[in-house]
Structure 1
């Protein structure tokens, strides 16, 4: 009898799991059900470009109907509300699904570290809809300035200087001068801040390349406040630990992630920030029928003593490993331990500029690094069968 495999979330990890399992298994092996709250797949790694207006929503939104066409995968557009691991059921907004195997790939949520007002008075950048809100809001700030020319309308703050924060800052550094010109506003009135609690931007990245990024961004007007935590946010004001107050109508928070609340509420074992602990086969601790992958889970890098970062590269590899282990579980064959193959990392800085490391030692910057990042997107589109569609 075919096993029912329910996959929650059509992000990088979930979608790759569904597509690879479909390749490995026959209809008699399993029934694959993919659940997602939208009928499209989001290219999360390009949200910063949409938020700054460099790309339209449709450029980073892939219809799931196109990806799944001709595949033995049933798609359900619905919202996941709860997981009952004892009953082996998933409660959706409109129905309840039973499962033999469950894959949880619900992504992550923003971590606000208990900072008063931060959640209430900042934008997040976790979805296409949120990117659209940021873009519309910024354009409105410029338009409103003509009628009420207060400096806070033209002051833009990005909280967090990890990859997401730096890539957004880079795109804004390109976009804001154009918006100022279009609205006939002198650009010297526009202020762009990047605030980071850690002592350097891009924490953990190669220091030589970090200096390159910092120089590129500063030359385009970015003001860095590094080693300065945000301690409180209220309407129109960002309070910093050094006593400084930034008056702004725009704070975008990219400073941390935590696991899905649904995973926490289901009672799976998690680390302090809510990401699920998994075994070497990406199964939830104590549950051989539940795989938790992507940003929803926590995998330790034994070499560094730190968890692997929640990146698309690792999420895609988790999806491939998860599919192989699902198939092995169904067929009763040997499973594969998850061992990430880190190909490198590239951070875009806007304006066809980037920094990156290929493998463990090759450093790259400028246009070449930017092209490498572009090629990684092309490879992913090829993987999910969308490169010629």
Structure 2
């Protein structure tokens, strides 16, 4: 009996496990994950801002996986690709015939001085909770410290995570101001971005609407402002200091460090895969999600951006290709067409561009209905209706 090992229980890993079970293979399927739960990575910003609790965005993996899938809770330390074994922190090496590597992402500091020590990343439940505790403790401290930096917040980067975090933050801050008895006029929020534009993936007028909405709620944007250092009480850009005792680090992510440790040809722990998502020279090994770089033919071969949406489509393709390999049939090429992009700006606002039913551009409260549909759909695609309903 062949053994299929899936690494990571994020969007890609859970979806791949579901598709392989439906294929009714005579094979052993093992799913390895560091934590016993799955978390909705696209909702970590809400935990960090304090508008959701961890239990709102997590579910136990063993509750949703069928008996056909062996769930092994352990941390992957390395992959011995020559021996076809996964090395684990607390268990004996796990041998595989086919590998679906979906180990996910970690924070990227780009080597910026002080970023790792002084920035608060949003990459998993623990880091999101730590960022939330930092925010709340600094605000609460002001009444005894009288340090205005306790009332200053700097968000580093203006990608999706940053913008969605800012939306949740400006919605919650008035409640925190009232709760802690803070001087609202002294609250300051800065968002620092090295690129010249905010939300370039959206049509310019829609992106400008989102920026103006956040500016209207107290956010100060600084574009074309590369960060050169992060201090305990300030973010520095070429000599200019943005003072704050809460620094949220969301400039970008890279793939799991296991990729580099395992000898892959990689950049930022992402591996350029073949058109069927397998690894060059290893036809029974597939990389999906944030550890893969999939060339986009429509963008001169530049990789697709990593999203939950594309991870699920990758999982379908990779699972089908594992089945094809086992049955001695040809694999299929990965094909992707985005359904659209949705960006929330707090619990009651957002912007969206939809391509599924013609090109639609939306803004305001209606987008939150779409956001909920997107979140529900992702849970359903990974698990079942019961889990989707319980997540609401």
> Shorter-chain TM-score: what band?
over 0.9
Moved more, 362-371 or 123-132: 362-371
**Residue 196 of structure 1 pairs with residue 197 of structure 2:** no
Match of 2:6 in 1: 7
SS at match of 1:246: strand
Query: Cα distance, 1:170 vs. partner?
Result: 0.9
Who is 1:373 aligned against?
A: 371
Match of 1:334 in 2: 330
Structure 2 match to 1:281: 276
**SS at 2:146's partner residue?**
coil
> Contact (CA 8 Å) 2:202, 2:353: kept in 1 or not?
no
**Offset of 1:191 from its aligned partner?**
0.7
CA-CA distance at 1:66 after TM superposition = 1.6
Q: Tell me the distance in 2 between the aligned counterparts of 1:341 and 1:276.
A: 21
Instruction: Show the counterpart of 1:47.
Output: 44
Q: What does residue 364 of structure 1 align with? A: 362
User: Normalising by the residue count of structure 1, what TM-score does the alignment of the two structures yield?
Assistant: 0.96
Contact 2:288 2:311 in 1 (8 A): yes
Please list the CA deviations of residues 82-137 of structure 1 after superposition, one character each: whole Å capped at 9, or x if unmatched.
10000100100112100001111111222212211111110110101111111111
Query: Which digits, 9 at most, give the CA deviation of each residue in 1:247-270, with x for residues without a partner?
Result: 211111111222222112211222
Matches of 1:299 and 1:387, distance apart in 2: 29
State how far apart, in whole Å, the 1-side matches of 2:331 and 2:295 are: 19
Task: Could you tell me which runs of 5 or more consecutive residues in structure 1 were left unpaired when the two chains were aligned.
Answer: none
Instruction: Give the one of 295, 303, 316 matched to 1:300.
Output: 295
What are the superposed Cα offsets for residues 197-243 of structure 1, whole Å, 9 maximum, x if unpaired?
000111332211101101110111111111111111122121113x3
| Conserved 8 A contact 1:13-1:319 | yes
CA RMSD of aligned residues (A): 1.2
Q: How does 1:52-71 map to 2 (within 5 A)?
A: 52-68=49-65, 70-71=66-67
Q: 3-state SS of the aligned residue for 1:332?
A: coil
- 1:40 offset after TM fit, Å? 0.4
**Cα distance in 2 for residues equivalent to 1:144 and 1:310:** 38
SS at match of 1:19: helix
State the match for 2:215 in structure 1: 218
List gaps (5 residues or longer) in structure 2.
none
Q: Give, in whole Å, the separation in 1 of the partners of 2:352 and 2:262.
A: 38
Counterpart Cα distance in 1 of 2:43 and 2:30: 27
Q: CA deviation at 1:80?
A: 0.4
Give TM-score, length-normalised by structure 2.
0.95
Shift of residue 311, structure 1, vs aligned partner: 0.4
Matched pairs, number: 383
1:83-122 equivalence runs, <5 A: 83-95=79-91, 96-122=93-119
- Does residue 288 of structure 2 align to residue 258 of structure 1? no
SS across alignment from 1:255: coil
Q: Which runs of 4+ in 1 moved over 6 A?
A: none
- Tell me how far apart the structure 2 counterparts of residues 216 and 278 of structure 1 sit (CA, whole Å): 39
